[in-house]
Amino acid sequence: MSTAERPRGPGLVRAFLRGRFFRFALIGTAGLVVSIAAVHLAADLFGLDLYSAGVFAFVVAVTFTFFCNRLITFRDAAREPVLRQWAHFVVSQLGGQAVNYAVYAATITLWPLARDYPSIAVAFGSIAGLAVNFTAASKLVFKADRG
């Protein structure tokens, strides 16, 4: 795309809002809500400690975001059988999850307020892992359809 063809001003904003990264981030935000609910469910109802609750929340949220991203963000990407693609997605998100969990654990360890309100730590971790997760999903799991 030449410089003359690139969107500018309001067109750039519209292009960003229609782009994959924006959709991925929106779904990630919904995944954050799912993750927060899962942390509270695991800790409050299942009695898990906050660290184990964070792992539980990852599994729940990554499954939710996989299906949303498959249907919305990467709807035009090449398809694999759903269980295989889900497994690839889970593995691809582990780098971002490592960043996410490190920030989550550090936040609840170092900030007493986050121990009382673990949603704060979930949010900080989610933001930290976003770029790693998007790159992995778009390059490793939902590659462009070559067909």
Q: What is the pLDDT of residues 104-117, one digit of tens each?
A: 999 999 999 999 99
- Long-range CB pairs of 57-64 (<8 Å, 24+ gap) are 57/122, 58/97, 58/100, 58/101, 60/34, 60/35, 61/31, 61/32, 61/34, 61/35, 62/31, 62/89, 62/90, 62/93, 62/97, 63/90, 64/30, 64/31, 64/34
Is 112 contained in some domain?
yes
> Residue 77's beta-bridge partner residues?
144
Close Cβ partners of 7 (under 8 Å, ≥ 6 residues apart)? 14, 15
Is 15 contained in some domain?
no
The DSSP secondary-structure symbol of 77 reads: B
Is 121 contained in some domain?
yes
Provide, rounded to the nearest whole percent, the portion of the chain with pLDDT above 90.
Answer: 59
The predicted-structure confidence for 61-116, as pLDDT tens digits, reads as follows 999 999 999 999 998 887 889 999 999 999 999 999 899 889 999 999 999 999 99
Is 2 contained in some domain?
no
Which domain does 115 fall in, by range?
Answer: 24-141
Is 91 contained in some domain?
yes
Tally of structural domains, the chain: 1
pLDDT score of 130: 87
Question: Does 5 have pLDDT greater than 80?
Answer: no
